[in-house]
């Protein structure tokens, strides 16, 4: 039974009733309703409980400003918490519940807080629960439960979301009269226009009143304009789309709610889409928010914004009450009184704080009594307004009013004037200026390419909004270099002129600190007394007062209450409102779901997966993968239920005893060519380049200018002016960028070109005593013997008739070859080598075995055994540092900090018990029983079980480590125990490096 | 047809280089930024001194050879990079909208016109994008290691 | 998100670029001639101005060129972006 629904009118479809549930109650509304209008139509007064005091609260607004009607919508994994009922379009089968109020909004056990509300004053939580220290965590859980924000779904989000980049000449935010006019003007000039509005249909305020444009109902003009815009190829119209952020360089974010308005069964495709719009010019036409008036018990269900009352009457054909009192300090509310009277609601009186109002005649002609020079000082009723107390007020600053009378009513429509929605202007970096005539902040000078138009710019008349919208659209188009089309301003009449006299805090029957709560911020239960208390306790800055009183926080971000709060603060401080200033507006304008922000970057698309040309073979072989950078590298190749440990032990032994094969394609590969290639590389690498012969390779490291190890790899001289470098897998992009930086900024005189070959070449490492036999077996056109193809050399060759680049290098200490091959042929080459290697028990191995083999040889991994604070000397690489030349980072190596005796140096560690594989990252201590905190002298950087040696090995960085060989230390384990370790050389296997040199 | 790729570096201000490259390739290098020269090969402008030649894979070895001979003695860099790239061709008027889901370029046909190219990001991969045929056909050239990821992204969208 | 004009490729979104810190820091021609303090100054000391800042950016997803940008660190307005004076655009 929709008892508050009017018989006719409204933009609802009475032929399409919609069933929904609210807090378990089955109700019905119509297509075109919001959840809020449907609740009001059904006479639901209490929609939630307040945050702190748990007072019953009703719907107060009709849009983004709504602080009370905060709902959990939908069920299961599709549920969304903390939506404003005023912005939720009703759909068949909707299940909605209040996010506040436990166990129910009508019986809330915490409502006792209200009785003791004086205890729950500003800063209550800080004062009460911060002592004793540590108990806050306990209190926090209780408070969160009873304060109650909505419930996040626990399962993965079943919906899909996406992002869309867009570019336009003119973006228009808001499709009320000013926005529509601006979009028409800009679009008619040929500009690419995007117009976004948060509502389901365009029109804004025009949908909520009896306006005439060009002698016709405004709705007709809206329809025509919307149709015209929709028909233009250069215009993108985005309804249900909120411009929620205005970022640098005219980049704006818009969230489009694509299917939220449909019943869950009807939803297909993308649920929400974030438009990332780069606009040359922006027109901000987001309108204005009506301000509440601040009087005792102004939060009782049935106290509403006057504009909201008009909106419910006109747009939804809902009358929120039977007997209304209007309370205003300005003329705009008179229209609401007339709207109410026309709808058949009794308007008992207009209570106007001003002694004289031009609009009084309008009320008189409609037969509505006006109490000029009066104020509403208090409201009676708890779960619903039952009446108001009204007193005469002469406009002085007295805190109390005497001689009040009671008026019976069930609806109070209030208007404290209007505040332009300056949010996006502020996001963009623009300041706001206080306007003494309009009594509000209006957008000041823009710092980006935007302008505000309409009520968002402090223009209250319809004719003014249309005129300013047109001008803004024309100006934006002109700035884009387009010629305005010269549209005419539509004619509009403004029934109620606008004048206002400020009334920031209504006097009460008792003094402000003892009277009933005069709410400023409904969502956070911030009252006049709270702001006054904050000031008494020493808070002066508006940002501090905000944080102490919670004024302006929450889902509504103070859209209703902020300005009143600033004004009350200003009064307490004896300052003007502009002196107090506003808090900072930040994105998002209204809350945005995590799903929309993540877009399609979830699951498989969360992070790119880079794979080598041989990846499918590794997959087929059942290898688990290790993620290195974005690469997925085979970790090990288990056979018959082997675990990591067993597989790696087998792979290591097979490689050292016969033959292993590894996909090393992820190494960074850079081609270096040019007459100055030698000189360039001399400056980059620490070793001597000029001495390298063509066809030879060298291990090289590059340092940052701070002298720290940055990257390493093998580099080969392919020609007099031609080199080939490898980098670490993770460092490839950074190294190339680093080399280009020096070439382009410091040494442009060097003629060198760099080209990445990382993806072009795949690299197959063939490792072990039988590696030469394998290559000979598949057919190699060059002599592979030591004499003609010695360790650390490179040759173009053919393997099985396929051209390759063959390197005799080793990262394992074994006889080994690396085969560089065009990635188009890599998989075939791998398969050929695997097939031919059968007789040598060829064993594919992954990153883990590679790590063990290199650690046995004491080879460091940059980024694992180094951390940006390790010099080549620390890592035992003195032999790599040329004394004959300068190179990047060389000068830093003689800085005092780099020559300290107690720098951390690379050492080897053996576990005293011969069994424990130390955890990587374990801290080293000299005396585990020393007084806590126990001084730490180093840490384990690499640690493995060596199957070849039969015991664990570890590499560590240890203070003064090289001079401590043979000493004993202790490594701290995760469980708090320690294990004895012995300091040894970092080279555990084949210390003379004979095996690779055969 | 399998496509091959050649990366060419050289001094665009040096007419001898520009002429040499043209004679080696049998086709002029595009010198205007963000453009493709389309004839026997598609030659993409990559930067002020860098081009990518996209051509029939079977041509590559011979073309590299011709280029090296035509530019012998000059400071240039010519690399066969055929193994390094995967190419996707997308056709249809909705392609710009599809790409807009993951690319920040303005791909409106009035802005990114026939014959235009750009190196940019698509989703989380770096791509070379070209508008190569009027119908329209867009060519996306991506590093081979990103191709599975990008294909997955394209399919999902 | 900034809109940065690459001197070679034109205006592109910030996501295509990487930041290279303060521009105009020259490597001392003879590092050994510097005492530790002067070398540390070159290594570590950078301006952190409120207002105009001359900085290096790299068109990492595009032409891979490094170039100079004059950016206001308060408003993020970019006054100019240009190729390095050292960059004739045709040198490797």
What CATH number corresponds to the domain at position B36?
3.30.70.1520
- Spatial neighbors of A482 by CB under 8 A, at least 6 apart, are A169, A189, A190, A191
Closest CA to A314 of A460, A203, A462: A203
Of 3.40.50.720, 1.10.3720.10, 3.30.750.200, 3.50.50.60, the CATH number of A160-288+420-479 is: 3.50.50.60
What are the structure tokens assigned to A530, written together?
């709270």
pLDDT tens-digit series, residues B24-64: 999 999 999 999 999 999 999 999 999 999 999 999 999 99
Q: How far apart are CA A780 and CA A863, in angstroms?
A: 36
SS3 A756: strand
The sign of the dihedral angle between the CA atoms of B61, B63, B69, B73 is negative
Is B63 found in the same domain as B23? yes
The percent of residues in chain A predicted with pLDDT above 90, rounded, is 87
pLDDT band for position A126 (cuts 50, 70, 90): low
Is pLDDT above 60 for A130?
no
Q: Comparing A139-148, A635-644, A729-738, A971-980, which segment has the lowest mean pLDDT?
A: A139-148
B50 lies within 8 A of chain C by CB: yes
Per CB-CB distance under 8 Å, the chain C contacts of B142 are none
Measured distance between the N- and C-terminal CA atoms of chain C, rounded to whole angstroms: 30
The verdict on a CB contact (< 8 Å) between A740 and C64 is yes
A737 lies within 8 A of chain C by CB: yes
The verdict on a CB contact (< 8 Å) between B77 and C92 is yes
Q: How far apart are CA B39 and CA B60, in angstroms?
A: 15
User: Considering CB atoms only, which of A192, A610, A757 is closest to B84?
Assistant: A757
What are the structure tokens assigned to A883, written together?
């004394």
Is pLDDT above 50 for B105?
yes
Answer for the pair A626, A847: CB distance below 8 angstroms, yes or no. Answer: yes
In chain A, residues 780-839 whose CB comes closer than 8 Å to chain C: none
- pTM here is 0.94
The verdict on a CB contact (< 8 Å) between C63 and B48 is yes
Q: How far apart are CA A445 and CA C52, in angstroms?
A: 21
Answer for the pair A968, A913: CB distance below 8 angstroms, yes or no. Answer: no
Is pLDDT above 80 for A114?
no
Strands (E), A285-357: 288-290, 303-305, 323-328, 346-352
In angstroms, the separation between the Cα of residue B99 and the nearest Cα of chain A is: 9
Mutate which of B7, B17, B32, B49 to disrupt the C interface (most C C-beta within 10 Å)? B49
The verdict on a CB contact (< 8 Å) between A753 and B9 is yes
Q: How far apart are CA C33 and CA A707, in angstroms?
A: 17
Query: Residue by residue, what is the 3-state secondary structure of A923-963?
Result: EEECCCCCCCCCCEEEEEEEEEEECCCCEEEEEEEEECHHH
Neighbours of chain C (3+ CB pairs under 8 A): A, B
Q: What is the mean pLDDT of residues A193-209?
A: 97
Q: How far apart are CA B66 and CA A671, in angstroms?
A: 20
In angstroms, the separation between the Cα of residue C8 and the nearest Cα of chain B is: 7
Per CB-CB distance under 8 Å, the chain A contacts of B104 are 165, 276, 278
Q: Looking at residue A403, what is its pLDDT?
A: 80
Q: Classify residue A518 by its DSSP letter.
A: B
Q: What is the mean pLDDT of residues A364-389?
A: 95
B117 lies within 8 A of chain A by CB: no
pLDDT band for position C90 (cuts 50, 70, 90): very low
Ramachandran region, residue A860 (left: φ > 0; alpha: ψ -120 to 50; beta: rest):
beta
Answer for the pair A985, A992: CB distance below 8 angstroms, yes or no. Answer: no
pLDDT band for position A115 (cuts 50, 70, 90): low
Is B50 found in the same domain as B12? yes
The verdict on a CB contact (< 8 Å) between C61 and B13 is no
Q: Looking at residue C91, what is its pLDDT?
A: 41
A164 lies within 8 A of chain C by CB: no
Q: How far apart are CA A861 and CA A839, in angstroms?
A: 32
Q: How far apart are CA A962 and CA A987, in angstroms?
A: 13
A890 lies within 8 A of chain C by CB: yes
Is B75 found in the same domain as B8? yes
Architecture category of domain A675-753 in CATH: 2-Layer Sandwich (3.30)
Chain-centroid distance of CA C22 in Å reads 5
Average pLDDT, chain C: 93
Q: How far apart are CA B98 and CA A995, in angstroms?
A: 56
Residue after which a domain boundary falls, among B80, B100, B129? B80
Is B76 found in the same domain as B9? yes
Other CB atoms within 10 Å distance of the CB of residue A977: 11
Other CB atoms within 10 Å distance of the CB of residue A31: 17
What are the structure tokens assigned to A746, written together?
């410091």
Q: What is the mean pLDDT of residues A105-116?
A: 63
The verdict on a CB contact (< 8 Å) between B125 and A674 is no
Q: How far apart are CA A821 and CA A671, in angstroms?
A: 14
The verdict on a CB contact (< 8 Å) between C1 and A247 is yes
Q: Comparing A484-498, A889-903, A963-977, C34-48, which segment has the lowest mean pLDDT?
A: A484-498
Q: Looking at residue A136, what is its pLDDT?
A: 61
Is B75 found in the same domain as B10? yes
Residue after which a domain boundary falls, among B80, B113, B138? B80
In chain A, the residue whose alpha carbon lies closest to the alpha carbon of B2 is A824
| Structural domains of chain C, with CATH | 3-24+34-83 (3.30.2270.10)
User: Considering CB atoms only, which of B7, B125, B144 is closest to A608?
Assistant: B125
Other CB atoms within 10 Å distance of the CB of residue A629: 16
Query: Residue by residue, what is the 3-state secondary structure of chain B?
Result: CCEEEEEEECCCCCHHHHHHHHHHHCCCCCCCCCEEEECCCEEEEEECCEEEEEEEHHHHHHHHHHHHHHCCCCCCEEEECHHHEEEEEEECCCHHHHHHCCCCCCCCCCCCCCCEEEEEEECCEEEEEEEEECCCEEEEEEEHHHHHHHHHHHHHC
Answer for the pair A754, A736: CB distance below 8 angstroms, yes or no. Answer: yes
A228 lies within 8 A of chain B by CB: no
The verdict on a CB contact (< 8 Å) between B77 and A613 is no
Alpha-carbon distance values, A375 to A321, A325, A339, A391, A401 (Å): 20, 11, 21, 6, 9
Per CB-CB distance under 8 Å, the chain C contacts of A705 are 27, 43
Mutate which of C2, C3, C16 to disrupt the B interface (most B C-beta within 10 Å)? C16
pLDDT band for position A562 (cuts 50, 70, 90): very high
In angstroms, the separation between the Cα of residue B59 and the nearest Cα of chain C is: 26
pLDDT band for position A153 (cuts 50, 70, 90): confident
The verdict on a CB contact (< 8 Å) between B76 and A826 is no
Rg over alpha carbons for chain B, rounded to the nearest Å, is 16
Other CB atoms within 10 Å distance of the CB of residue A433: 15
User: Considering CB atoms only, which of C2, C18, C91 is closest to A248?
Assistant: C2
Query: Is the preceding omega at residue A132 within 30 degrees of 0, hence cis?
Result: yes
Is pLDDT above 80 for A124?
no
Q: Looking at residue A554, what is its pLDDT?
A: 85
Neighbours of chain A (3+ CB pairs under 8 A): B, C
Is pLDDT above 80 for A768?
yes
Is B102 found in the same domain as B50? no
User: Considering CB atoms only, which of A737, A751, A754 is closest to C18?
Assistant: A737
Q: What is the domain-level CATH number for residue B112?
A: 3.30.1360.120
Place of tokens 């790299």: C58
Q: Looking at residue C64, what is its pLDDT?
A: 96
Half-sphere exposure of B28 (CA within 13 A, CB side): 5
In chain B, the residue whose alpha carbon lies closest to the alpha carbon of C92 is B49
Q: What is the mean pLDDT of residues A353-360?
A: 88
User: Considering CB atoms only, which of C10, C16, C92 is closest to B49?
Assistant: C92
The verdict on a CB contact (< 8 Å) between B83 and A753 is no
Answer for the pair A880, A873: CB distance below 8 angstroms, yes or no. Answer: no
Strand partners, A808: A793
A607 lies within 8 A of chain B by CB: yes
The verdict on a CB contact (< 8 Å) between A429 and C2 is no
Q: What is the mean pLDDT of residues A70-95?
A: 93
Domain A504-590 sits in CATH at 1.10.10.1100
Per CB-CB distance under 8 Å, the chain C contacts of A896 are 36
Is B117 found in the same domain as B152? yes
Answer for the pair B53, B40: CB distance below 8 angstroms, yes or no. Answer: no
pLDDT band for position C86 (cuts 50, 70, 90): low
Architecture category of domain A899-992 in CATH: Beta Barrel (2.40)
Alpha-carbon distance values, C78 to A280, A427, C23, C52, C69 (Å): 15, 18, 14, 9, 7
In chain B, the residue whose alpha carbon lies closest to the alpha carbon of C6 is B47
**A292-393+404-415: same fold as A160-288+420-479?**
yes
Strands (E), chain C: 3-6, 10-13, 18-22, 52-58, 66-72, 78-83
In angstroms, the separation between the Cα of residue A277 and the nearest Cα of chain B is: 9
Q: Looking at residue A54, what is its pLDDT?
A: 87
Could you tell me where the DSSP H helices lie in A660-707?
Answer: 677-684
In angstroms, the separation between the Cα of residue A729 and the nearest Cα of chain C is: 18
B74 lies in which domain range?
3-80
What are the structure tokens assigned to A412, written together?
């109070």
Class of domain A292-393+404-415: alpha beta
Per CB-CB distance under 8 Å, the chain C contacts of B77 are 92
Q: Looking at residue A53, what is its pLDDT?
A: 87
Is pLDDT above 80 for A33?
yes
Alpha-carbon distance values, A886 to A673, A751, C26 (Å): 21, 19, 16
Q: What is the mean pLDDT of residues A236-242?
A: 98
Answer for the pair A45, A383: CB distance below 8 angstroms, yes or no. Answer: yes
The verdict on a CB contact (< 8 Å) between A755 and B79 is yes
Q: Looking at residue A716, what is its pLDDT?
A: 98
Closest CA to A496 of A292, A290, A328, A334: A334
Query: Residue by residue, what is the 3-state secondary structure of A784-844?
Result: CCCCCCCCCEEEEEEECCEEEEEEECCCCCCCEEEEEEEHHHHHHHHHHHHHHHHHHCCEE
Closest CA to A302 of A378, A368, A369, A383: A383
Q: Looking at residue A545, what is its pLDDT?
A: 93
Is B102 found in the same domain as B38? no
C56 lies within 8 A of chain A by CB: yes
Alpha-carbon distance values, A531 to A50, A520, A523 (Å): 18, 9, 15
Q: What is the mean pLDDT of residues A987-991?
A: 97
Q: How far apart are CA A716 and CA B66, in angstroms?
A: 26
Q: How far apart are CA A768 and CA A770, in angstroms?
A: 5
Is B113 found in the same domain as B73? no
Q: Classify residue A604 by its DSSP letter.
A: G
Is pLDDT above 70 for B97?
yes
Q: How far apart are CA A329 and CA A596, in angstroms?
A: 41
Q: Looking at residue A104, what is its pLDDT?
A: 64
Q: Looking at residue A108, what is its pLDDT?
A: 60
List the domain boundaries for chain A.
13-128, 160-288+420-479, 292-393+404-415, 504-590, 615-666+760-845, 675-753, 899-992
Q: Looking at residue A396, what is its pLDDT?
A: 74
A824 lies within 8 A of chain B by CB: yes
Q: Classify residue A284 by its DSSP letter.
A: E
User: Considering CB atoms only, which of C10, C61, C90 is closest to B121?
Assistant: C61
Class of domain A13-128: alpha beta
Buried b (16+ CB within 10 A) or exposed e, A336-370: bbbbbbebebebbbbbbbbeebebbebbeeeebeb
Per CB-CB distance under 8 Å, the chain C contacts of A447 are 75
B52 lies within 8 A of chain A by CB: no
Is pLDDT above 70 for A148?
no
Q: Looking at residue A129, what is its pLDDT?
A: 56
What are the structure tokens assigned to A31, written together?
């297509």
Predicted complex ipTM = 0.98
Q: How far apart are CA A274 and CA A595, in angstroms?
A: 10
Strands A56-57 and A48-49: antiparallel
Q: What is the mean pLDDT of residues A664-675?
A: 98
Q: Looking at residue A681, what is its pLDDT?
A: 98
The verdict on a CB contact (< 8 Å) between A744 and C65 is yes
Q: How far apart are CA A603 and CA A160, in angstroms?
A: 11
How many residues in chain B?
157
B48 lies within 8 A of chain C by CB: yes
What is the count of structural domains for chain B?
A: 2
Q: Looking at residue A24, what is its pLDDT?
A: 94
A276 lies within 8 A of chain B by CB: yes
The verdict on a CB contact (< 8 Å) between B148 and A609 is yes
pLDDT tens-digit series, residues A865-876: 999 999 999 999
Is pLDDT above 90 for A619?
yes
Q: How far apart are CA C14 and CA C9, in angstroms?
A: 13
Q: What is the mean pLDDT of residues C66-90?
A: 86
Residue after which a domain boundary falls, among B80, B102, B131? B80
The verdict on a CB contact (< 8 Å) between B47 and C10 is no
Place of tokens 């620490």: A686
Is B95 found in the same domain as B72? no
> If 0-12 CB within 10 Å is exposed, 13-18 middle and 19+ buried, where does residue A895 land?
middle
Q: How far apart are CA A170 and CA A193, in angstroms?
A: 5
Q: What is the mean pLDDT of residues A10-15?
A: 96
């Amino acid at each position: 039974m929709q008892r508050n629904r009017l018989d006719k009118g409204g933009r609802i479809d009475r032929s399409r009733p919609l069933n929904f549930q609210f807090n378990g109650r089955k109700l019905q509304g119509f297509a075109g309703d919001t959840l809020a209008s449907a609740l009001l139509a059904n006479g639901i007064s209490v929609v939630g409980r307040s945050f702190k005091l748990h007072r019953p609260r009703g719907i107060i607004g009709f849009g983004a400003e709504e602080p009370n009607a905060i709902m959990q919508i939908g069920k299961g994994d599709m549920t969304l918490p903390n939506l404003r009922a005023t912005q939720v379009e009703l759909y068949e089968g909707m299940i909605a519940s209040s996010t506040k109020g436990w166990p129910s909004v009508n019986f809330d056990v915490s409502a006792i807080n209200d009785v003791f509300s004086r205890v729950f004053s500003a800063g209550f939580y800080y004062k009460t629960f911060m002592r004793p220290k540590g108990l806050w965590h306990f209190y926090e859980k209780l408070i969160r439960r009873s304060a109650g924000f909505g419930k996040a779904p626990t399962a993965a989000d079943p919906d899909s979301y996406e992002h869309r980049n867009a570019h336009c000449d003119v973006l228009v935010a808001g499709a009320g009269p000013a926005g529509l006019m601006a979009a028409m003007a800009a679009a008619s000039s040929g500009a690419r226009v995007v117009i976004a509005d948060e509502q389901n249909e365009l029109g804004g305020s025009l949908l909520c009143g009896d306006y005439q444009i060009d002698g016709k109902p405004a709705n007709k003009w809206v329809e025509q304009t919307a149709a015209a815009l929709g028909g233009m190829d250069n215009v993108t119209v985005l309804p249900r789309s909120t411009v929620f952020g205005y970022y640098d360089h005219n980049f704006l974010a818009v969230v489009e709610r694509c299917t939220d308005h449909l019943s869950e069964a009807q939803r297909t495709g993308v649920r929400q889409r974030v438009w990332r719009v780069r606009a040359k010019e922006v027109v901000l036409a987001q309108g204005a928010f009506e301000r509440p008036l601040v009087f005792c018990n102004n939060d009782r269900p049935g106290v509403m914004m006057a504009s909201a009352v008009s909106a419910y009457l006109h747009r939804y054909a809902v009358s929120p009450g039977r007997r209304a009192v209007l309370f205003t300090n300005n003329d705009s509310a008179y229209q609401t009184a007339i709207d109410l009277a026309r709808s058949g609601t009794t308007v008992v009186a207009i209570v106007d704080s001003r002694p004289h109002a031009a609009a009084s005649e309008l009320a008189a002609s409609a037969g509505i009594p006006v109490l000029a020079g009066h104020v509403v000082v208090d409201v009676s009723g708890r779960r619903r307004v039952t009446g108001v107390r009204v007193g005469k007020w002469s406009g002085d600053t007295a805190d109390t009013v005497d001689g009040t009378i009671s008026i019976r009513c069930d609806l109070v429509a209030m208007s404290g004037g209007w505040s332009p929605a300056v949010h996006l202007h502020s996001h963009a970096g623009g300041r706001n200026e206080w306007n003494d005539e309009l009594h509000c902040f209006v957008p000041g000078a823009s710092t980006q390419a935007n302008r505000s138009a309409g009520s968002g710019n402090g223009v209250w008349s319809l004719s003014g909004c249309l005129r300013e919208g047109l001008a803004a659209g024309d100006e934006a188009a002109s700035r884009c270099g387009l010629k305005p089309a010269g549209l005419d301003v539509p004619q509009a009449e403004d029934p109620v002129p606008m004048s206002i006299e400020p009334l920031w805090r209504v006097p009460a029957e008792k003094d402000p600190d003892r009277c009933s709560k005069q709410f400023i911020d409904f969502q956070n239960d911030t009252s006049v007394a709270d702001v006054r208390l904050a000031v008494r306790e020493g808070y002066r800055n508006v940002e501090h007062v905000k944080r102490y009183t919670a004024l302006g926080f929450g889902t509504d971000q103070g859209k209703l209450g902020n300005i009143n709060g600033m004004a009350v603060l200003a009064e307490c401080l004896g300052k003007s409102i502009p002196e107090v200033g506003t808090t900072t507006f930040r994105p998002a304008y209204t809350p945005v779901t995590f799903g929309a922000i993540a877009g399609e970057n979830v699951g498989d698309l969360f992070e790119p997966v880079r794979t080598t040309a041989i990846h499918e073979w590794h997959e087929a072989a059942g290898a688990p993968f290790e993620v290195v950078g974005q690469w997925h590298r085979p970790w090990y190749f288990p056979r018959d239920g082997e675990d990591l440990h067993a597989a790696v032990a087998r792979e290591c032994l097979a490689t050292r005893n016969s033959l292993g094969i590894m996909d090393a394609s992820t190494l960074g590969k850079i081609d270096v060519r040019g007459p100055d290639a030698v000189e360039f590389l001399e400056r980059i690498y620490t070793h001597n380049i000029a001495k390298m012969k063509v066809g030879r390779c060298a291990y090289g490291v590059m340092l940052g200018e701070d002298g720290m190890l940055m990257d390493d790899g093998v580099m080969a001289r392919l020609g007099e002016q031609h080199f080939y470098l490898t980098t670490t897998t993770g460092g490839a992009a950074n190294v190339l960028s680093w080399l280009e930086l020096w070439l382009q900024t410091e040494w442009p005189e060097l003629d060198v070109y760099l080209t990445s070959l990382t993806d072009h070449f795949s690299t197959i490492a063939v490792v072990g005593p039988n590696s030469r036999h394998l290559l000979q077996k598949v057919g190699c056109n060059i002599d592979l013997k030591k004499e003609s193809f010695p360790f650390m050399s490179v040759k173009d060759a053919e393997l099985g008739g396929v051209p390759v680049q063959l390197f005799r290098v080793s990262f394992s200490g074994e006889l080994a070859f690396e085969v560089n091959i065009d990635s188009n042929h890599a998989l075939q080459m791998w398969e050929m080598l695997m097939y031919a290697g059968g007789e040598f028990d060829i064993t594919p191995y992954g990153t883990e075995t590679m790590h063990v083999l290199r650690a046995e040889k004491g080879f460091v991994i940059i980024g694992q055994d180094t951390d940006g604070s390790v010099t080549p000397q620390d890592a035992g690489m003195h032999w790599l540092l040329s004394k004959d030349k300068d190179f990047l980072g060389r000068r830093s190596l003689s800085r005092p900090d780099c020559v300290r005796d107690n720098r951390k140096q690379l050492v080897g560690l053996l576990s005293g018990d011969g069994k424990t594989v130390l955890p990587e990252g374990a801290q080293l201590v000299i005396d585990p029983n020393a007084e806590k905190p126990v001084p730490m002298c180093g840490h384990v950087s690499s640690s493995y079980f060596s199957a070849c040696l039969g015991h664990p090995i570890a590499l560590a960085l240890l203070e003064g480590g090289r001079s401590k060989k043979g000493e004993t230390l202790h490594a701290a384990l995760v469980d708090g125990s320690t294990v004895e370790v012995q300091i040894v050389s970092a080279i555990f296997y084949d210390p003379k490096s004979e095996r690779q040199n055969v | 047809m399998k496509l091959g790729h050649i990366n060419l570096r050289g001094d665009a201000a040096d007419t001898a280089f520009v002429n040499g490259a043209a004679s080696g390739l049998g086709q002029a290098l595009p010198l205007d930024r963000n453009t493709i020269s389309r004839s026997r090969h598609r030659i993409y402008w990559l930067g002020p001194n860098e081009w990518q030649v996209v051509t029939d894979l079977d041509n590559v070895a011979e073309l590299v050879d011709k280029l090296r001979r035509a530019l012998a003695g000059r400071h240039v860099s010519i690399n066969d990079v055929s193994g390094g790239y995967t190419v996707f061709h997308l056709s249809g008027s909705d392609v710009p909208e599809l790409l807009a889901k993951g690319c920040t370029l303005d791909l409106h046909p009035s802005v990114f016109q026939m014959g235009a190219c750009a190196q940019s990001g698509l989703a989380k991969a770096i791509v070379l994008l070209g508008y190569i045929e009027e119908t329209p056909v867009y060519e996306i050239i991506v590093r081979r290691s990103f191709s599975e990821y990008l294909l997955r992204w394209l399919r999902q969208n | 998100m900034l809109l940065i004009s690459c001197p070679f490729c034109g205006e592109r979104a910030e996501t295509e670029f990487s930041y290279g810190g303060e521009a105009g820091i020259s490597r001392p021609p003879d590092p050994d001639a510097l005492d530790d303090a002067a070398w540390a100054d070159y290594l570590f000391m950078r301006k952190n101005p409120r207002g105009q800042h001359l900085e290096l950016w790299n068109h990492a997803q595009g032409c891979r060129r490094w170039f100079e940008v004059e950016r206001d660190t308060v408003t993020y307005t970019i006054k100019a972006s240009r190729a390095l004076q050292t960059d004739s655009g045709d040198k490797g």
